[in-house]
């Protein structure tokens, strides 16, 4: 679905699907260069990173494998609960592997900081982060990010994997959600 189909539920479109795909192609070129001749494992963070992971992997030309983790600090609300839980762990042993964590969004950084600490303890050869979106104003736990698609304002956004109570993930654009929807 695109933003025109649900315009009454959105305040404004921040990034269109065309802009997102163009940025992903640029990031993929950087990753291709960085991981040429390396054993790359993409680790997607469910559920939001599904769209990013699928599109990023299609832009990449290096050989890679994929695995998934599910971690949460949200529940069904619009703000982090502050409690991080692993809902699904990796099925791949990452020791000695070059791991690139693929995120949809870095908001406070709390969840990602926990995840990175957890993955470092598993002794990967390298561990880096790619996120499609980041909210610099909301960041409270510093995390080093190697690849950032776009910075977002500190507003509630949906689309391209980002959701509100499980909805709007299939919106191809990224937009701010109208307050009447979540108030």
pLDDT tens digits for the chain (183 residues)?
Answer: 999 999 999 999 999 999 999 999 999 999 999 999 999 999 999 999 999 999 999 999 999 999 999 997 755 555 555 678 899 999 999 999 999 999 999 998 988 999 999 999 999 999 999 999 999 998 888 899 999 999 999 999 999 999 999 999 999 999 999 999 998
Q: Assess whether 18 carries a catalytic annotation.
A: no
Among 160, 127, 143, 162, CA closest to 42: 127
- Considering the segment(s) 17-152 as one domain, its CATH architecture is 3-Layer(aba) Sandwich (3.40)
Q: Which of 37, 93, 104, 107 is catalytic?
A: 107
How far apart, in whole angstroms, are the C-alpha atoms of residue 69 and residue 166? Answer: 17
Give the Å distances, CA to CA, from 5 to 20, 131, 183. Answer: 19, 27, 21
Where do the structural domains in the chain lie, given as residue ranges?
17-152
């Amino acid at each position: 679905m695109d933003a025109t189909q649900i315009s009454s539920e959105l305040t404004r479109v921040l990034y269109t699907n065309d802009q997102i795909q163009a940025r992903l192609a640029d990031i993929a070129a950087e990753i291709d260069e960085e991981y040429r001749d390396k054993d790359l494992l993409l680790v997607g963070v469910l559920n939001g990173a599904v769209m990013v992971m699928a599109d990023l992997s299609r832009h990449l030309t290096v050989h890679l494998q994929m695995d998934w983790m599910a971690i949460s600090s949200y529940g069904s609300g619009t703000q982090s609960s502050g409690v991080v839980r692993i809902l699904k762990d990796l099925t791949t042993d990452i020791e000695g592997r070059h791991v690139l964590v693929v995120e949809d969004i870095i908001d406070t950084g709390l969840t990602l900081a926990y995840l990175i600490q957890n993955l470092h303890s598993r002794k990967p050869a390298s561990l880096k982060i790619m996120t499609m979106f980041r909210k610099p104003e909301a960041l409270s736990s510093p995390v080093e990010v190697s690849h950032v698609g776009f910075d977002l304002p500190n507003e509630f956004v949906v689309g391209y994997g980002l959701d509100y109570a499980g909805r709007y993930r299939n919106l191809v654009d990224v937009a701010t959600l109208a307050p009447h929807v979540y108030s």
